[in-house]
Amino acid sequence: MTTSPDPSAPITGLSHVQLLVSDVGASATWYSLVLGLESYSEDIDIGYVALRHRDARLVVVLTADPGVSPEGESGGRWPGRPDAGSGRLDHLAFAVPDGVTLHTWAEHLIDVGIDHAGVLMENGNPSLQLRDPDGVAIELVAPGSASTGAHLRPTPKSPG
């Protein structure tokens, strides 16, 4: 039997996304440079950085992966953790307002040296797909509609 949620206990939005990363500093730099996130809270000594995007009211928390040594070595990528597909994050998708904005992002990514395949259609929505330093898939997605599609133009691919 399913019941509706209690309306006096609503969910008001996403609080944060927390990622286990191999190098907190390198990942914080990447998310700041590539996505424009800014420092919100940090304790590098324990391997913790919270970054936010003020306009989107989004927080991404980066935490040192206990299964990876400070030198990036592990005796297996996720010792003591379930195999992929058993609860690990598949990807993060950030919404952008429209196709024009998505092309602006594509140009920014090229400018900061991030490889991507250009704007692609996925499930009826234009998107850009890239990976962070730990290989986490990041997607920037615009709403799919006739008006959005009219603004899509080929995006130059990353150099090299």
Q: What is the pLDDT of residues 25-66, one digit of tens each?
A: 999 999 999 999 999 899 888 889 999 998 888 899 999 988
Q: Catalogue all structural domains in the chain, each as residue range(s) with its CATH number.
A: 13-67 (3.10.180.10), 90-153 (3.10.180.10)
Residue 75 has pLDDT above 50, yes or no: no
From the list 43, 84, 81, 80, the residue with the least C-alpha distance to 62 is 43
pLDDT band of 106, cuts 50, 70, 90 = very high
* Average pLDDT along the chain: 78
Please spell the DSSP secondary structure of 54-119, one letter per residue.
Answer: TTTTEEEEEEE-TTS-TTS--SSSSTTSPPTTSS---EEEEE-S-HHHHHHHHHHHHHTT-----S
Q: And the tokens for 160? A: 């090299």
pLDDT band of 67, cuts 50, 70, 90 = confident
pLDDT of 71 reads: 55
CB 61 within 8 A of CB 47: no
For 128-151, write each residue's pLDDT tens digit. Answer: 999 999 999 999 999 875 443 434
